[in-house]
Amino acid sequence: MPRHPFLHGTYTIAPTPFLPTGELDRASLTTMVDMLVGLGVQGITMLGVMGEVDKLGDAERDVIIDDVISAAAGRVKICIGTSHVATDRCVALSKRAAELGADALMVAPPRLAKPNDAALRSHYQRVADAVTIPIVVQDHPISSGVLMSVEFLANLARDVPRCNYLKLEEEPTPAKTTRMRAAAPDMVIFGGMGANMLLEELRHGADGCMTGFGFSEILVAICNQWAAGDVDGATQTFYQACPLIRYENQPGINLAIRKYIYMQRGAIAHAHVRAPSSPLPADVIADLHDIVTRLGLIHHFKGAHA
């Protein structure tokens, strides 16, 4: 039995599809959701760091949320990123996502001029007071610039129960997972970071993962095998996928690689990353094709012959 039947297992951080002109590709939102549901994920997280959220306007956010929730049609849970450096804006974005039907929210801490646990707590408390759905606290110092201690997160979960969900991405993640599990035994903990340390995170007490990867069914298999007690099977599946996990997760081009994989799999029509961005170099694409061929995954690509 999952620690929390509502939020557990594999949530994939999905990209935002665009047309080559830079406009939203609404048709691809539907095909992407259908593919991810078919791959067995428990949930889809939109408008995260890898969703190019900083390049979207409020009206575009509404369209994405509405289209994704409509396409999911209750088949999987939908988590929406509503992070903002201003508490009032974060509250407004969170209320709007909840109004549109989001099942959960993902909220990173606001960057502060000086570390201040009281201000961080107030930020999360105000968001929690404004909605009635779970809030996944995103602990990703690389993007937020904010370090949250185990003690702070455990106290927040205790005092603001809606925040008893953590996307743990402060490296080294396995060590912090161990400390978090000891400090907050009932907390729902998701691994992230492109699944680089997923196996170790599960071993140290994580409940699943909330991260992006071009082959989400592999992460589903790992989490399902682990939950079923098949440690050897989960280990073998993870080790086999490590070359692709490592290659996709290259800083600076990981989103472009993921979008290329999604396009090749037919989930989205175009791999366009909204400007400013650069197309993937031909040698990166060639290396990627070599890896998926050697892993026996090339038959998932359009026009490929296994």
Rounded CA gap, 235 and 99, in Å?
Answer: 40
Q: Which of 167, 176, 259, 302 is catalytic?
A: 167
pLDDT on residue 305: 44
- The length of the chain in residues reads 306
167 tagged catalytic: yes
Residue 35 Cα distances to 186, 203, 224, angstroms:
32, 29, 19
Cα Rg of the chain (Å, integer): 18
* Residues forming a β-bridge with 167: 138, 190
Question: Which stretches of the chain score pLDDT less than 50?
Answer: 305-306
pLDDT computed for residue 5 by the predictor: 63
Opening angle at CA 107, ends 94 and 202, nearest 5: 135
* pLDDT at residue 174, rounded to an integer: 98
Q: For residue 166, give Cα distances in angstroms to 64, 169, 179, 291.
A: 24, 9, 13, 32
Asked whether 257 and 286 are in contact (CB, 8 A), the reply is no
Domains detected in the chain? 9-250 (3.20.20.70)
Give the whole-angstrom CA distance, residue 15 versus residue 56. 12
